[in-house]
Chain A
Amino acid sequence: MKKSILLTALLGALLAGCASTELQEAQPLNPPQPELQSMQADDNQGTAYTSPDLNLQELRGNPLLAKDKRGIYFDFNKYVVKQEYMEVIQAHAKYLNETPAANMKIQGNTDYRGSHEYNLSLGQKRAVAVKEALNSFGVDDSQIETVSYGKEYANLDCVEQNSCGEDRRADVVYTVE
Chain B
Amino acid sequence: MKFIKLENNDELQANLFSFAIHLALFLVMIFSVGWQTKTPYYGEVELWDSVPVQKKINKTQATPKKKIKQKQNTKVQKSAEAKAKAKAQKEADIKLKKKKAAEKKAAEKKAKKLKKQKAIKELKKKVLKQEKIDKLKKEMLEKEKVERLQQQIIEQQKIEKMQAELRESELKQQKKPALEGEDEVKGGVNTGELNKYKLLIQQKIQQNVNQQLCGLDYITLEFRISLMPTGELLGQPKMTKSSKIKSCDDAVERAIIQSQPLPLPIDSGLFSKLKNLELKFHPNGVE
Contacts and interface: CB of A to CB of B under 8 A. Distances in A.
Report A-B touching, CB under 8 Å: yes
B19 interface: no
A1 B21 contact: no
A3 to B, nearest CB: 12
B26 interface: no
B54 interface: no
B13 interface: yes
A64 B44 CA distance: 83
Q: By DSSP majority rule, is chain B's interface helix, strand, loop, or mixed?
A: helix
Interface residues of B, number: 4
A1 B20 CA distance: 14
A8 interface: yes
A4 B13 CA distance: 12
Contact of A8 (B13, B14, B21): B21
Interface in B15-36: 17, 21
Interface string A144-157: 00000000000000
Contacts of B21: 8
Contacts of A5: 17
A4 B17 CA distance: 10
B276 to A, nearest CB: 22
B149 to A, nearest CB: 24
A1 B14 CA distance: 8
Contacts of A8: 21
Interface string A76-117: 000000000000000000000000000000000000000000
Contacts of B14: 1
Interface of B: 13-14, 17, 21
Interface of A: 1, 4-5, 8
| The 3 residue pairs across chains A and B that have the minimum distance between CB atoms | A1-B13, A1-B17, A8-B21
